[in-house]
Amino acid sequence: MHFRPDWKPRTTSAAGLEEAEEGVATESGGDKNRQAVYLHPGRIFVSPEPCTVRMILGSCVAVCLWDPGQAIGGANHFLLPYHVGEGQDSLRFGNVATLHLIEKLLALGCAKQSLKAKLFGGSCVLEAFQKNAAHLGTKNVLVARTLLAEEGIAIVAEDVGGNRGRRVVFQTDDGGAWVRRL
């Protein structure tokens, strides 16, 4: 993955993520073997080819999964924790989007026991709600953690919570991830 020279990663944090110093990561387009994708809220992206997935998160959560042995991965970007069965289910809901992401990766040949996860987002960016411990971002993180535990998928790193949004870059083939607080 190629970045502009002003992108300077710091040391890897305890969570296993690289955090950016001053400056914004932008892809130079030099890696012709890696497609770049912006993942909008309420969407899922999976690929058997090396791809870079970018997203901006506030209270939304992104579950990023990959199978290191197959070099296949993907991500979701959901807004709300649970679809409870009324109306049409949607990838905007964490319980729907996370299970759908797992199904898509299994269909591409990943083994569930080999999948690794990284979680991002779940902030409370609205000051009026920051005193409420059960804000929307917290609920989104909880549903992702719960579903991944039920599916037996290990969370190897996360950058969740807080009161600032995040710009996230995730590589589908090797699970590399970069986070910049906004």
Q: Which residues of 100-138 are buried (b: 16+ CB within 10 A; e: fewer)?
A: bbbebbeeeebeeeebbbbbbbbbbbeeeeeeeeebbbb
**Does residue 70 form part of some domain?**
yes
Could you report the per-residue pLDDT of 16-56, keeping only the tens digit for each?
A: 343 333 222 334 344 557 889 999 999 999 999 999 999 99
Q: Are 177 and 168 in contact (CB under 8 A)?
A: yes
Q: Which residues of 4-26 are buried (b: 16+ CB within 10 A; e: fewer)?
A: eeebeeeeeeebebbebeeeebe
Could you report the per-residue pLDDT of 155-182, keeping only the tens digit for each?
A: 999 999 999 999 999 999 999 999 999 9
**Does residue 25 form part of some domain?**
no
Residue 15 pLDDT > 60: no
| CATH code of residue 101 | 3.30.1330.200
Q: Are 160 and 181 in contact (CB under 8 A)?
A: no
The position carrying tokens 């990663």 is 9
Higher pLDDT, 4 or 69: 69
**Does residue 55 form part of some domain?**
yes
**Does residue 153 form part of some domain?**
yes
- Alpha carbon distance 34, 44 (integer Å): 18
pLDDT averaged over every residue in the chain: 82
Q: Are 140 and 99 in contact (CB under 8 A)?
A: no
**Does residue 139 form part of some domain?**
yes
Give the range of the structural domain holding residue 85, as residue numbers without chain letter. Answer: 34-181
Which region among 7-11, 29-33, 74-78, 137-141 has the lowest average model confidence (pLDDT)?
7-11
pLDDT for residue 33: 72
Higher pLDDT, 90 or 159: 159
Structure pTM?
Answer: 0.80
**Does residue 80 form part of some domain?**
yes
Top mean pLDDT of 34-43, 74-83, 109-118 is at 109-118
Count of domains forming the chain: 1
